Amino acid sequence: MTSYFLRRLLLVIPTFLGITLLVFGITRMTPGGPVEKIISQGQQAMGEGAGGGGSDDRVRGQALSDEQIADLKAQYNFDKPIHIQYGIWLGKLLSGNLGDSYRYQEPVWDLIKDRLTVSTYYGVMTMIITYLVCIPLGVFKALKHKSTFDNMSSVLVFTGFSIPSFVMAIILLFIFAANLEWFPLGGFYGDEYDDMGYWEQILNILYHSVLPLGAYLFGSFAVMTVMMKNSLMDNLASDYVRTAISKGIDFPTAVRKHALRNSLIPIATHFGNNISVFLTGSFLIEKIFDIDGMGLLGYESVLERDYPVVMGILVVSSLLLLIGNILSDVCVAIVDPRIKFD
Amino acid sequence: MKLNPTTLKRLKQFRSIKRGYYSFVLFMICLLLAALAELWINSRAIVVKYEGHYYFPTYGAVIPGTTFGFDYDYETVYRDLQKRMAEQNEDGFVLMPLVPYNALENDFKEDSYPPAAPSLESKHFLGTDKTGRDVLARVVYGFRIAIIFSLILLFFNYAIGMTVGSMMGFFGGKFDIIMQRLIEIWTNVPFLYVIIILVSIFDATFALLITIMVFFGWTGLTFYMRTTVLQEKVKEYALAARVIGAGTFRTIFHHILPNTISLIVTFIPFSVTGGITSLTSLDYLGFGLPPPTPSWGELMSQGMEQLEVASWIIISVVSGMVAILVMITFIGEGIREAFDPKKYTTYE
């Protein structure tokens, strides 16, 4: 078993290299990089009033000499072949340096660190509320299978599931922020945040996060509720529960002591996947509610061709995802001793 | 087409699941309406009777204004023709569709600026957007494009995913391991980043978007296919086929694949909603189909800009999208229940 997980961990390395190499290659091979940005900015500055030459308009006089361009390329390492550039980037990464952002001239890690807090807050809240709602709801639905409550809650849960979270964000924003004005239109906290006391700050953040959390949550109930319900019903139909019942144990005890424990297995195995939720917050929701999280940082960095930040986020998110996959297998092994990996 | 008894039983089972079945019927009506959209939302008339001749402009070539006595060569504006014929008591008639606008034309009023609120009188039943285009027309035509997009995407994703997945399961060994690694890399590449970078270099077209999305989307099905084929290939019928002399290709496609269909079918509705959602979110961000293609995402971003001024835009497009997605999800839920029936023991 240990050797299996060690092998899995070792396999993370080639996969990680593959992912980063692929994205690195794409960012270097496509036009619009930092050097071209500076060149076109120079052109715009020079050709002011000349009808605003397009960035690809190389015929018009260039503000920078060939030498300066070569210097710029050398500064960004763009003059070397791609595999060398990748090697340099990887070497820095191994020494714990993600590089500096082109846009902010700040270390990438500092940028990511700030946003991680925001995304983690939403990730953890979503996770906790999902478990708190789904497990009891699933159990109740399994016990009351085919009842009106079961049907109505299914309709509700699947409706939530079918609406993409960004559309849900738009709906919530439209109803509760724009029209009813119960909640703020966006932001992680309000303008007067810095002047508030500790408890007020917490309340302010909670107040601002009601709508975004709603958008994250509505869609997330379906999968786990149905999983919980089906798994409990499978177990209720199995022989060991029948035996317990026929031996005279009353139904609630049979559920609580026998069926429920086993039906939590799939829920537990799902737990490992949560690790990625911590940071890959939907950038669409963050964009709609104007929250400075990881998703939005990644999106803006791609738009602005801030490649060090793009790569930095990729490193963090892909590592967490890959390790999350392994973790969820570890969870399976811990919870269910019958399962053997080899 | 002859259906085997199991399939018939499943279809009957599906019919008995009310929520799924009625959603299916409703969704089919929506599809039909969208397919025939030209007949009820169009700037072209359905029938024109002019100087004793009948014209049916809906699906044919452009009929220039000169045909109907106007002094211009470009396409007849049938709304004007209708007005003129009514005012001057000309012989004949113009039968306009229910909504006499198409999804692309800008209906500018002389006394006001768009967006215009919904009104029965102007026949903009859901109002107009900020450039004066009819919202209802854009919602319906946008739906049609989204569903076609989604189905094409689904076809390619499934074709590639099923082939690769079943090959992985069938051959196993080195091929399987290498493909598993490759797919793991593939699925972890942030597809949105790539799409944003590519779309900013090339102009986004329908074909380009499909290509990129298939490029990154085909992996979804491979692991299910791999597992099922792994299970199926050791069953007697597959072995028997091999013994009789069926080749690899024949064994996979003629014998094993038909037995995995019941699994595949349950994924289809959710792939359709997935396709619609991806297209809409890309359009919303401005990385989707090029303007002026009618699209839900584009309408949504307009609606968000004008939440207070023109709330009819956001209400119309969001209700349309939610209705369609909920219907498809209910169908999917029904199909899953019908194709994977579990009979539970209950205690009372």
B45-84 residue pLDDT tens: 888 888 888 888 888 888 888 888 888 888 888 888 888 8
Cα–Cα distances in angstroms (integers) from residue A124 to residues A172, A203, A262, A277, in the given order: 21, 17, 25, 8
Q: What is the pLDDT of residues A201-230, one digit of tens each?
A: 888 888 888 888 888 888 788 888 888 888
Edge to edge, the sheet with strand B47-50 lists B53-55, B47-50, B92-95
* Most confident region among A318-327, B71-80, B267-276 by mean pLDDT: B267-276
Which of A162, A230, A322 shows the shortest C-beta gap to B325?
A162
Write the DSSP string, B266-284.
Answer: HHHHHHHHHHHHHHHHHHH
* Most confident region among A108-117, A136-145, B21-30, B100-109 by mean pLDDT: B21-30
Cα A248 to chain centroid, rounded: 48
Is residue B289 packed enough to be buried (19+ CB in 10 Å), middle (13-18) or exposed (0-12)?
A: buried
Q: Tell me whether residues A22 and B342 touch, CB distance under 8 A.
A: no
Task: Summarize the confidence of residues A35-42 as an average pLDDT.
Answer: 74
pLDDT at residue B343, as a whole number:
59
**Residue B41 β-bridge partners:** B99
pLDDT at residue B325, as a whole number:
93
pLDDT at residue B341, as a whole number:
65
Task: Summarize the confidence of residues B212-240 as an average pLDDT.
Answer: 87
DSSP summary character for residue A258? I
On the question of pLDDT at A55 being above 60, the answer is: no
pLDDT at residue B94, as a whole number:
86
Q: Per CATH, which fold does A108-335 belong to?
A: MetI-like fold (1.10.3720)
Tokens read off for B127: 């109002």
Length of chain A: 342
Task: Summarize the confidence of residues A322-335 as an average pLDDT.
Answer: 79
Give B5-36+137-339's CATH code, choosing from 3.90.78.10, 1.25.40.390, 3.30.60.50, 1.10.3720.10.
1.10.3720.10
**Which candidate, A249, A308, A312, A263, places its Cα nearest to that of A116?**
A312
B209 vs B107, residue with greater confidence: B209
pLDDT at residue B331, as a whole number:
93
**Phi, psi angle pair for B52, to nearest 5°:** 80, -10
Tokens read off for A310: 């793009």
**Phi, psi angle pair for B75, to nearest 5°:** -60, 140
Q: Using a CB-CB distance cutoff of 8 angstroms, which residues of chain A are in contact with residue B184? A: 15, 322
Confidence of residue B306 (pLDDT cuts 50, 70, 90): confident
Q: Using a CB-CB distance cutoff of 8 angstroms, which residues of chain A are in contact with residue B280? A: 164, 167
Residue extents of the structural domains in chain B: 5-36+137-339, 43-96
Stretch 263-292 of chain B: residues touching chain A, C-beta under 8 Å: 273, 277, 280-281, 284-285
Q: Tell me whether residues A170 and B300 touch, CB distance under 8 A.
A: yes
User: By mean pLDDT, which of A275-279, B13-17, B176-180 is the weakest?
Assistant: A275-279
Q: Flag whether residue B202 sits within 8 Å of chain A, measured between CB atoms.
A: no
**CA pseudo-torsion sign A144, A145, A148, A151:** positive
Residues of chain A with CATH 1.10.3720.10: 108-335
DSSP summary character for residue A92? H
On the question of pLDDT at A286 being above 90, the answer is: no
DSSP E strands, chain B? 47-50, 53-55, 92-95
Q: Flag whether residue B66 sits within 8 Å of chain A, measured between CB atoms.
A: no
pLDDT, averaged across chain A: 81
On the question of pLDDT at A57 being above 60, the answer is: no
Rounded to two decimals, the pTM is 0.86
Tally A–B CB contacts below 8 A.
Answer: 114
Share of chain B above pLDDT 90, in %: 25
pLDDT at residue A274, as a whole number:
67
Share of chain A above pLDDT 90, in %: 1
On the question of pLDDT at B1 being above 80, the answer is: no
On the question of pLDDT at A56 being above 80, the answer is: no
On the question of pLDDT at B112 being above 80, the answer is: no
Q: Using a CB-CB distance cutoff of 8 angstroms, which residues of chain B are in contact with residue A30? A: 197-198, 201
ipTM of the prediction greater than 0.85, yes or no: no
**Residue B128 β-bridge partners:** B134
Give the C-alpha separation, B15 to B334, whole Å: 9
Task: Summarize the confidence of residues B194-204 as an average pLDDT.
Answer: 81
Task: Summarize the confidence of residues B23-31 as an average pLDDT.
Answer: 95
CA torsion A222-A227-A229-A232 (nearest 10°) is -170
Tokens read off for A241: 């529960």
Q: Using a CB-CB distance cutoff of 8 angstroms, which residues of chain B are in contact with residue A300? A: none
Confidence of residue A271 (pLDDT cuts 50, 70, 90): confident
